[in-house]
Amino acid sequence: MVTAVRRMLPVVGLVAVLLLIWEGSKVLFGISDQRLPHLGDIVTTMFTRTQGGNGPLLLVQMLINAWATLRVAMGGFFIGGLLGFGLALLFMRMPILERGLMPYVIGSQTVPILAIAPMVVVGLGRMGAEPWVAKIFVAAYLTFFPVTIGMLRGLRSASPQSLDLMRSYAASSLQTFWKLRLPASLPYLFASLKIAASASVIGAIVAELPSGSSEGIGVMILNAAQFYNSRPPALYLAILVAGLIGVVFYGLVALAERLIVKR
């Protein structure tokens, strides 16, 4: 506990210094509120009402939209994660399949899904799919690749000696999987899940950018940017919340790792 506080101290210190620079540079260089609002203004903006004073608090609205984005990211993460996990198992069991399909798995990443996200959204929308389908597709696409690669590497990480040991016990391949390969692969799996968590949030946000989307933090960012002149702090708040979504999701995966992988 004490060590955790001691480790956080320099981080908190640095953040404090950065915030000081923020306010200090406003004073020193005379940066207008229009370009760089006061930190206090960003806080007070959270508690202003939306829709001309009749809607919910801005912070509440932001969080509702953040939840919409996080939901999409989690959905895609879940589907992509399962797919990646399944592919890795399949590839480990059947090396023939790996030799045949792995190049396509790797090749799939040469298509920059983020760049084609607008087309996926518009195209799938035209086919009559719900908007969330395309968003989840993008997030899942970004998730499955790191998970496949990480999990496969993890499943292969058991040392030859430990495999020989299992063999000497005449352990079945299922036993070898549960007692050796799976536990050995967990650190690798979680390393890739953490990468995937951030990627799926980015995917969800970018998939919200094409015109026509109605909810999500990406939409909030676009709106706040459009009406920046009337209320600058809102954009800062939206970006802050977007960052928060990434950190929260990453944190959840890291927490799951803590609970599952006991070292």
Binding site for another protein (CB under 8 A): 7, 10-11, 13-15, 35, 103-104, 107, 110-112, 114-119, 122-124, 126-127, 194, 197-198, 201-202, 205-206, 209-211, 217-218, 221-222, 224-225, 228, 232, 235-236, 238-239, 242-243, 245-247, 249-251
Q: Which is nearer to another protein, 91 or 249 (CB)?
A: 249
Q: Which is nearer to another protein, 135 or 194 (CB)?
A: 194
Query: Dihedral sign, CA of 53, 55, 56, 59?
Result: negative
Give me the amino acid identity at 249.
F
Q: Which is nearer to another protein, 46 or 253 (CB)?
A: 253
Tell me how far apart the terminal alpha carbons of the chain are, to the nearest angstrom. Answer: 18
Q: Which is nearer to another protein, 176 or 192 (CB)?
A: 192
Q: How far is the CB of 30 from another protein (least distance, A)?
A: 15
Q: Is 60 exposed, middle or buried (0-12, 13-18, 19+ CB in 10 A)?
A: middle
Q: How far is the CB of 203 from another protein (least distance, A)?
A: 9
Q: How far is CA 120 from CA 116, 146, 197, in A?
A: 6, 21, 21
Q: How far is the CB of 167 from another protein (least distance, A)?
A: 27
Is the distance from CB of 55 to CB of 182 less than 8 angstroms? no
Q: Which is nearer to another protein, 247 or 261 (CB)?
A: 247
Q: How far is the CB of 145 from another protein (least distance, A)?
A: 12
Query: Dihedral sign, CA of 232, 41, 49, 219?
Result: positive
Angle at 251 between CA 180 and CA 131, to 5 degrees: 100
Q: DSSP character for 208?
A: T
Q: How far is the CB of 78 from another protein (least distance, A)?
A: 18
Is the distance from CB of 79 to CB of 100 less than 8 angstroms? no
**Range list of H helices, the chain:** 2-29, 39-46, 58-93, 95-108, 113-126, 131-155, 160-168, 173-176, 182-207, 217-226, 232-260
Q: Which is nearer to another protein, 55 or 251 (CB)?
A: 251
Q: How far is the CB of 175 from another protein (least distance, A)?
A: 34
